[in-house]
Amino acid sequence: MLEYLFCVRPVLLLPWHRTPPTPRASEIHRVIDLLIDNLINIRDDKGEFLLHLKDGRTIQAKCWNGWEWTHGIGLYGVWKFYEITGQAKYLKIIEDWFAERFAEGGTTKNINTMTGNLTYLPWLDAWGEWAMHELPRTKYGGMQHITYVAENVQELWDDTLMMTVMPLAKIRKLLNRPGYIAEAKRQCLIHNEGHGNGGHNFADARWARGNSWCTIVIPEILELLELEPNDAIRTHLCDTLEAQCEALQQSQSVSGAGHTLIDDPDSYLEASATAGFAYGILKAVRRRYIGSQYQAMGEKAISALKDVDEKG
């Protein structure tokens, strides 16, 4: 799926009085194409949204020609759509983006900038080793969610699973470093709230988008790790996802969208989280990581995302 759908910004959705039918695959593809076209044409020529940091860096997170977690999620979505369609134009979008960013000199290393399918081995090597050996850790070894604006000391964010843990596992496959896989497994366990390390839910809020990262990552990383059906970690992650989906089913709105605060029905409906839930749930059902009873829930979430105009 796409950056817009996964994470660009919370989009207000209006609840419907009845659940609409699930759009056909052709209609979903048409809408995704519109979203991609809109995404790659987001510009900030006047620099209105530039962030000037104290260390002298300038961050551009509000248009296509920047390098932050938003771009990484978008690129990952474009890649997934390329895998489905095989259309060369989507691969070219990815290749052009990386060529332009590397020509600019790259970026500093932090959790959010690690997202994406990087294809240059020196960068993969440097970032993989940084994540393994230099990224600050919480008391019990969790990857602390540092960003360009804050170190977030002793905080664990579900976002880290998407931004760092999954890329680390992917880098292992390219560079043949088994230790990366072991660390990815460990981080999946540490980031489970049941681990009891105290770094979770520091905001005392059950954010939909944060939860959606887990919904996306668990089936993605299970597919990536290729664990045997009776593997203990696979079983644990499948059970975790099933429990999450069971809870999400209770809070899903009539329209199929998710509330930005899962347990607050008065909070607004958010497109990005809804897309994440739809993607993860439907993939997990297809891969048999969770029961088929959640298929309708995932399709209902897709129906809530159809309100996209011709400009994407």
DSSP annotation string for the chain: --HHHHTS---EEPPPSSPPPPPPHHHHHHHHHHHHHHHHT---TT-TT-EE-TTS-EE--SSTTS-SHHHHHHHHHHHHHHHHH--HHHHHHHHHHHHHHHHTT-----TGGG-S----HHHHHHHHHHHHHTS-B-TTS-B----SS---TT---THHIIIIIHHHHHHHHHHT-HHHHHHHHHHHHHTSGGG--S-S-TTS--BHHHHHHHHHHHHHHHHHHT--TT-HHHHHHHHHHHHHHHHHHHH--TTSPEESBTT-TTSPEEHHHHHHHHHHHHHHHHTTSS-GGGHHHHHHHHHTT----TT-
Quote the tokens at residue 70: 């938003």
The packing angle between helices 69-85 and 25-40, to 10°, is: 140
Instruction: Tell me: pLDDT of 303 over 60.
Output: yes
| CA quadruple 262, 268, 272, 274: dihedral sign | positive
Quote the tokens at residue 33: 């194409």
Scan for tokens 């977690």, then name that residue.
69
Q: Are the beta carbons of 217 and 162 closer than 8 angstroms?
A: yes
- State residue 148's pLDDT score: 74
Instruction: Tell me: pLDDT of 118 over 60.
Output: no
pLDDT category, 62, cuts 50, 70, 90? Answer: confident
pLDDT category, 181, cuts 50, 70, 90? Answer: very high
Residues whose CB is less than 8 angstroms from the CB of residue 153 and which lie 6 or more positions away in sequence, other chains included? 136, 144
User: Rounded to an integer, what distance in angstroms lies between the CA atom of residue 298 and that of residue 244?
Assistant: 13
Instruction: Tell me: pLDDT of 269 over 60.
Output: yes
- The CB-side HSE value for 205 (13 A sphere, CA atoms) comes to 10
Q: Are the beta carbons of 214 and 161 closer than 8 angstroms?
A: yes
Mean pLDDT score of the chain: 86
Instruction: Point out which residues pair with 52 in neighbouring strands.
Output: 58
Instruction: Tell me: pLDDT of 10 over 50.
Output: no
- State residue 1's pLDDT score: 37
Instruction: Tell me: pLDDT of 296 over 90.
Output: yes
Cα–Cα nearest to 69, from 204, 172, 166 = 166
Instruction: Tell me: pLDDT of 251 over 80.
Output: yes
Query: Could you tell me the pTM of the whole model?
Result: 0.86
Scan for tokens 């390098």, then name that residue.
67
Higher per-residue pLDDT: 25 or 7: 25
pLDDT in tens, 66-97: 888 889 999 999 999 999 999 999 999 999 99
Question: For the residues 186-202, what does the mean pLDDT come to?
Answer: 71
Quote the tokens at residue 220: 């993605």
Relative to beta strand 12-13, strand 51-52 is unpaired
Q: Are the beta carbons of 298 and 231 closer than 8 angstroms?
A: no
> In this predicted structure, which of 138-142, 196-200, 247-251 has the lowest mean pLDDT?
196-200
- State residue 19's pLDDT score: 56
